[in-house]
Amino acid sequence: MGLVQLLKSQVLCHLIMCYVFVVSGLIINLLQFCTLPVWLINKQLARRINIRLAYCISSQMVATLEWWSETECTLYTDPESFPLYGNENAIVVLNHSYDIDFLCGWTFCERFGVLGSSKVLAKKELSYVPVIGWMWYFLEIVFCKRKWEEDRTTVAQSLQNLHDYPENFWFLLYCEGTRFTRKKHQISMKVAESKGLPKLKYHLLPRTKGFWVTVQNLRGKAVAVYDATLNFRNNETPTLLGVMSGKKYHADLYVRRIPLDLIPEDEAECAAWLHKLYQEKDGFQEQYAQTGRFPGPVKSPPRRPWCLINWLFWVCLLLYPLGLLLVQLISSGSALTIAVAVALFSAASLGFRWMIGQTEISRGSSYGSKAQSQISPVRDKNDQDPSLRLQILICTVG
Ligand SMILES: CCCCC/C=C\C/C=C\CCCCCCCC(=O)SCCNC(=O)CCNC(=O)[C@H](O)C(C)(C)COP(=O)(O)OP(=O)(O)OC[C@H]1O[C@@H](n2cnc3c(N)ncnc32)[C@H](O)[C@@H]1OP(=O)(O)O
Ligand SMILES: CCCCCCCCCCCCCCCCCC(=O)OC[C@@H](O)COP(=O)(O)O
C-alpha cells in the first residue's frame, strides 16, 4: 500500500471529510432556508438558486467517488440516445442492489449536467437526515411513506408541481422499493409466484404503482424513461466507507432510452410493461455475470472538474477555523474544556457514523421482508381484489 493510499484509509481523514461535508452542508441548508422569501416573489429564481446550492452538497460526495477513490464509471448506451442525455427530462429506473448505487447515479447526473436538479421518489425517513434530507425539501424531492393509501395523492401532487420546473431533471425511481437482500428476494419471489409472474434472479419484484403514478403525472414534462442497470466489476460490493478509504471500484451502467409515449396509460398494462422491463433487466444482469459486460457500445462521458473545485473550496474554507479551534483548545490547558471538546467530538463521530449507516444495506429497513406489512387484505376501494391479496399473504407467510 502506497503512502497516499495509507493516508486515505485513516479514520482521522474520514472524520475530516465528514466534518467538511456536514458543516458545509449545514451552511448550505441555512442558505436554502434563506431562499424561502424568494419563493414568494419569484419561484423560478428560488428554484434555480436551490439547484446550485444543492449541487454544492451532492457534488462533494461525487468528488469523493470520482477524485478521491478514483472509481471509474463506464456507460453502455446507444450512441443515438447519448446526445439527448442531460438535454431532456427523463424518468430513470435503476436496480437497487448496492450501498452506493445512488452515488453512481449522481456521478452520471454530474457528467450530464443535471446533478443539482435531479430528483427521486424517496422514502420519507430520508427527509430527516441532516444535510441531504433537508436539502431535498428545497429541491422538491418526492417523498413517500411506502403506504399506497397515503402516497397515491401526495406523490401525484408532488409530481404535478414539477410541471413548471425551470431546468432539466432526471427523476429516479427504484421500483424494487427497497434494497436487495437474500431474504427480501425470497419473499418477493413468492409474491411473483403467486401472481403467476416469472421469477427474477437479480432483482426484487418491482412495485408498479409508483412507476405508474410517476409516468402518468410526468407525461408532457418527461419525454423518456431511461432503463438503467448497474453492476460492479469483479463481483465487488462497494460501500461508502470503502470510497472514503480511497478504494477504487469500477461501475458499469447500461442505459436504454425508451420514449415515454411507448408506455401504456392503463394501470394494469403499465404494470405488465414494468414487469417485462424487469425481466429484461434480469437478462442483462445474467449476461453481465456470464461475460463481464452489458450489451451495446461503450460511450462514457468524462468526469468534470467542477465537483472537485467545489470540494476543495469547502476544504480550504473550513479546515482553517478547525485548526484554529484545536490550537486554542490545546493551549487553553483546561481539563474541563478538553473533556467537553472530547465529548462533542465523540458525539459528532457517532452522528457521522449514523449518517453513513443510512447508505448501508445491512442497516436497511425491514420493508419487503415482512410480507404482512405490505399485503393487508384491507385496502382502499380503488385497489385490486382483496381475495388475491389474502392469497398472497398466505403464500408469503407460509
Ligand atoms: C443514469 C442513472 C442515474 C440517475 C440518477 C438520478 C437521480 C438521482 C437523484 C437522487 C439520488 C438519491 C437517491 C436516494 C435514494 C432513496 C431511494 C428510496 O428511498 S427507495 C424507497 C422509496 N421508493 C419506492 O418505494 C419506489 C417504489 N415503490 C412504489 O412504487 C410503491 O408502489 C409505492 C408507491 C411506494 C407504494 O408502496 P406500498 O408498499 O404501499 O406498495 P404497493 O402498494 O406497491 O405494495 C403492494 C403491492 O406489492 C406487492 N407486494 C407485496 N409484497 C411484496 C414484495 N415483498 N415484493 C414485491 N411486491 C410485493 C403486492 O402484491 C401488491 O401488488 P399489486 O400492486 O399488484 O397490488
Ligand atoms: C464528501 C465526504 C462524504 C462524507 C459523507 C458523510 C456523510 C454521508 C451522508 C450520507 C447521506 C445519506 C444519503 C442517503 C441516501 C441513501 C440512499 C438509499 O439507498 O436509501 C435506501 C432506500 O432507497 C431504501 O431503503 P431500505 O428499505 O433498503 O432501507
Q: Which amino acid is at 224?
A: A
Can you say whether the dihedral through the CA atoms of 209, 214, 219, 224 is positive or negative? negative
Q: Is the pLDDT of residue 272 over 70?
A: yes
In the chain, where the domains are located:
1-68+307-357, 71-117+165-304
Can you say whether the dihedral through the CA atoms of 155, 157, 158, 163 is positive or negative? positive
| Cβ of residue 28 lying under 6 Å from some atom of ligand 1 | no
Distance 146 CA to ligand 1 centre (A): 7
Percent of the chain with pLDDT over 70: 93
127 CB-contact burial (10 Å; exposed 0-12 / middle 13-18 / buried 19+): middle
22-69 pLDDT, tens per residue?
Answer: 999 999 999 999 999 999 999 999 999 999 999 999 999 999 999 999
User: Lowest-confidence range among 65-74, 124-133, 295-304?
Assistant: 295-304
Q: What is the mean pLDDT of residues 256-260?
A: 98
130-153 pLDDT, tens per residue?
Answer: 999 999 999 999 999 999 999 999
Instruction: Find out whether 225 and 215 touch, Cβ atoms under 8 Å.
Output: yes
Residue 370 makes CB contacts below 8 A (sequence gap 6+) with: none
Q: Is the pLDDT of residue 395 over 80?
A: no
Q: Whose CA is nearest to atom 24 of ligand 2?
A: 178
| Cβ of residue 361 lying under 6 Å from some atom of ligand 1 | no
Q: Is the ipTM of this complex over 0.90?
A: yes
Q: What is the pLDDT of residue 373?
A: 43
Pocket probe for ligand 1: among 89, 190, 207, the residue whose CB has the most ligand atoms within 8 Å is 207
91-120 pLDDT, tens per residue?
Answer: 999 999 999 999 999 999 999 999 999 999
The CA distance from 191 to 197, in Å, is 9
Q: What is the pLDDT of residue 393?
A: 41
| Cβ of residue 122 lying under 6 Å from some atom of ligand 1 | yes
Q: What is the mean pLDDT of residues 175-187?
A: 97
Distance 317 CA to ligand 2 centre (A): 25
Instruction: Name every protein residue with a CB atom under 6 angstroms from any ligand 2 atom.
Output: 17-18, 21, 60-61, 64, 102, 123, 126, 129, 132, 174, 178-179, 352, 355-356, 358-359, 364-365, 367
What is the greatest pairwise CA distance in the chain?
Answer: 73
Q: Is the pLDDT of residue 376 over 50?
A: no
Q: Is the pLDDT of residue 345 over 80?
A: yes
Give the nearest ligand 1 atom to 177 CA: 25
3-state secondary structure (DSSP) of residue 127: helix
| Cβ of residue 89 lying under 6 Å from some atom of ligand 1 | no
| Cβ of residue 281 lying under 6 Å from some atom of ligand 1 | no
Give the nearest ligand 1 atom to 213 CA: 34
Give the three cell numbers for residue 294. Answer: 452489458
pTM check: above 0.80: yes
Distance 4 CA to ligand 2 centre (A): 27
Looking at residue 256, what DSSP letter applies? E
Q: Which of 131, 362, 101, 136 is nearest to 243 (CA)?
A: 101
371: pLDDT confidence band, cut at 50, 70 and 90? Answer: low
Q: What is the mean pLDDT of residues 186-212?
A: 97
Q: How high is the mean pLDDT of the chain? A: 92
16 CB-contact burial (10 Å; exposed 0-12 / middle 13-18 / buried 19+): middle
User: Lowest-confidence range among 50-54, 227-231, 250-254, 340-344?
Assistant: 340-344
**Could you say which ligand is closest to the alpha carbon of residue 357?**
2
Q: Is the pLDDT of residue 378 over 70?
A: no
Percent of the chain with pLDDT over 90: 88
60-94 pLDDT, tens per residue?
Answer: 999 999 999 999 999 999 999 999 999 999 999 99
Distance 209 CA to ligand 1 centre (A): 8
Q: Is the pLDDT of residue 370 over 90?
A: no
Distance 334 CA to ligand 2 centre (A): 38
The CA distance from 99 to 362, in Å, is 9
**Could you say which ligand is closest to the alpha carbon of residue 190?**
1
300: pLDDT confidence band, cut at 50, 70 and 90? Answer: confident
